[in-house]
Chains A and B, each alone.
Chain A
Amino acid sequence: MRGVLALVLWLLLAGPAFAISDPAEALPDPAQEARAVAIGQQLRCLVCQNESIEDSGADLARDLRRIVRQQVAAGRSNREVIAWLVARYGNFVRLRPPFETGTLLLWGSPVLALAAGGGAVLLARRNRPAPPPPLSAAERDRLRQLLDRT
């Protein structure tokens, strides 16, 4: 029994270790294949963390790759293919989250960061200490006296 368990465990672990897939998977048309790769890179492998289905050797990722290729070959648009997967796995499957109210801060972060930086510079320029006023006539005389003494 333990031998069987060990073997099963080994099979499970061995799967993801090969990040290599079947040469027969690729679509014959290079343009379609390129499109399928581009779509696959936007989709998250659900069982492994933070890998796209194109990078992953997991079984489920392989199935999803195949489905993406079938749909691309059937002439579906990128948007349709992604929508098909979102319907099954939710926005979780998209490595590029959609632009919506929940992701406003996320997509807005570059603009917000730049605005904060610019704001800080403006604030610092406005609050900067005033340059010292020019010397008065009396001070200038005193300076000349001091300089003459050396």
Chain B
Amino acid sequence: MIPELGHFTLALGVAFGFAQAFLPLWGAARGDARLMQAAPALALGQFLALGTSFFCLAWSSAVSDFSVLNVAENSNSLEPLIYKITGSWGNHEGSILFWCLILSLCGAAVAAFGGNLPSSLRARVIGVLGAAGVGFALFALLESDPFLRLWPPPVDGRDLNPLLQDPGLAMHPPILYTGYVGFAVPFAFAVAALLEGRIDAAWGRWVRPWTLAAWCFLTGGIALGSWWAYYELGWGGFWFWDPVENASLLPWLTGTALLHSALVVEKREALKVWTVLLAICTFSLSLSGTFLVRSGILNSVHAFANDPARGVFILVLLGLVVGGSLLLFGLRAPVLAASGIFAPVSREGALVLNNILLCSIAAVVLTGTTYPLFADLLLGEKLSVGAPFFNATVFPLAMPLFAAMAVGPMLSWKRADLGAALMKLWWAALVAAVAGVVMATRAALLPALAFAAAAWLILGALADLIERVRLFRIPLGASARRLMGLSRGSLGTTIAHAGLGVTIAGIAAMSLAHAAIVLLHPGETAKLGGYDWQLVNVHDADGPNYAARVATIRISRDGRLVTVLAPERRSFPVQQITTTEAKISTNGLRDLYAVLGEERDGGAVLRLHVNPLAPWIWFGALIMAVGGMVSLADRRLRVGAPARRAAVAAA
């Protein structure tokens, strides 16, 4: 009964989607206020329908209703309840439904918080959101129905892929998808602006909070995915330039560019056409990223369901959304008045530089990811493009970006004094140079440069903050008052820029990591990175749906116990997969990391790592997301603010 309710509400969601796609847009085109007013109710209706539908799927999974094919294939009665629930978005069918649910959530959010938008703009934004999503909801209903029944039902399910049975990865898809799909809102604003033929500073102010929110989630999602790879795959690596990873990095890069160019629209009414294009490209990249992965074209370690027939359906949908919006851009963008006169040395000049560099990095990553496919198709050449290529090409583009990042926020709008800005940063530059030289004696050139960049970014952010609160130049109390009074927007910028510095420091420090593979017998000790790693024993331990071997490792330094790690090797009988559970002990400045390999000759093969500053990689990403959220709390960005400010100005 519950699965049928889910199936029915999914169909209802599709019906609402069609209505949401057509009625408000038609109403806006005809100037019919009643049709336009229907938009929020339709968006809310679609959200409620798809929400019920997804709840039914999660429910079927939670109660282990194996008469549902999707549940039988991806769940097991012995699995902990939490993974039964999270497993409902961990498979192909469920994740598509989940994707549609989040898109409908975006529509409902615009309906709920967009009360101060002009009614035609709001109707168009909601309509475009409906049009972008309805195809995929239809795809879920027709081509990847999660509620298909199975008769007779099997006694037990086939279990969720053990690699996905992990708290980090359980939470990864919701956060990442919210990030991906969140960019649908700026996309809808961009398409709506093209339809209206008008963009002004207020448009920029409406777009930015949505972009910021999506960006925060995407930053968090990527960081969580990379953290999962670090501790779950057990190679000690955290980023592999895999197509799936690149697919999430691409919208992040263009989304970051969008965040900055929307600022120029808001402050200077310039870069309008470019910002609209960026908004379209960002959502197009996140769409392509989510769905090309499923078409089976991209080669990946994280391959999802590979089915070329489904691939064609998805490609046609992608073509309609991406191609349609870009065609509309080509036809309508000339209407948008080109404006914006500005000096190269100014805040907006720095933001343009940021956009060029970010988009160049995105272009390189996109080229590298798709090049093997097109080389094979057009030239018949089989090539591989992997980490060495991306490291070699992205690094030279990222360095000038980092260099400019600390200076940019110090420049004033319209016309700035570069010399004066640099004077305020002299000590940051000095410390960064010293850090780079010191690192160059211990590591290779590239990590040394990256370390210098990290120091430059963190200290540059600090210098910016000191400058703004006029620390030591006015009484401390006055500085504190200034700090409290700082606009959340600029504070957010400072925090996010420093966060990137922290991440880069963590990445650079990976070059100083120690790793070893040793065969130890119980009682034996290995030395690595100044620590003594003693294997105490290897014993059996059973989990709810797996059997495990656990190694107990005592780690001490100079005779003092530091920590005890117990890495596991789990075998899941249902899926017949063995996973390694790496164990990590961190003190914030270094990770001790141990993986249990095979056992032989009465001993165990262990892979041991000492990774200095490794937690900084994800800690920095967290700081970046916090910076975004601080920025989001800015009064001027809060929904309704433009209207209120206008009222204040009038009074």
Contacts and interface: CB of A to CB of B under 8 A. Distances in A.
A contacts B: CB pair < 8 Å: yes
B286 to A, nearest CB: 20
B367 A20 contact: no
B386 A44 contact: yes
Nearest to A20: B597
A97 B367 CA distance: 13
Contacts of A26: 517
B388 interface: yes
Interface string A1-36: 000001001100110011111111110000000000
B396 interface: yes
Instruction: Provide the main secondary structure of the chain B interface.
Output: mixed
B363 interface: yes
A114 interface: yes
A95 B576 contact: no
Given A52-B386, A95-B385, A96-B389, A113 B338 contact: no
A111 to B, nearest CB: 9
Interface in A30-65: 41-42, 44, 48-52, 55
A117 interface: yes
Contact of A105 (B355, B367, B381): B367
B579 A17 contact: yes
A109 interface: yes
A87 to B, nearest CB: 15
Size bracket of the A interface: 35 or more
Contacts of B355: 117
Interface string B516-540: 1111000000000000000000000
Contacts of A95: 384-389
Q: Which of A6, A24, A109, A127 has the most CB of B within 10 A?
A: A109
Contacts of B648: none
Nearest to A21: B517
Size bracket of the B interface: 35 or more
B338 A124 contact: yes
Contacts of B595: 20
Interface string B293-314: 0000001110100000000000
Contacts of B519: 23-24
Nearest to B597: A20
A93 B372 CA distance: 12
A129 interface: yes
Given A105-B367, A129-B339, A51 B578 contact: no
Nearest to A96: B388
A52 B240 CA distance: 9
A131 interface: yes
Contacts of B375: 102-103, 106
Interface string B370-382: 0100010001011
Q: Which of B243, B274, B607 has the most CB of A within 10 A?
A: B607
B340 to A, nearest CB: 7
A133 interface: no
A134 interface: no
Given A96-B392, A117-B359, A10 B517 contact: no
Return the 3 tightest CB-CB contacts between A and B, nearest first.
A95-B386, A20-B597, A117-B356
28 contacts: A6-B576, A13-B576, A14-B576, A17-B578, A18-B578, A18-B598, A19-B580, A22-B605, A23-B518, A42-B388, A49-B303, A55-B237, A91-B382, A93-B384, A94-B384, A95-B386, A95-B387, A95-B389, A97-B383, A97-B389, A103-B371, A105-B367, A106-B385, A109-B364, A110-B396, A113-B360, A113-B364, A117-B360
Interface of A: 6, 9-10, 13-14, 17-26, 41-42, 44, 48-52, 55, 90-97, 102-103, 105-107, 109-110, 112-114, 116-118, 120-121, 124, 127-129, 131
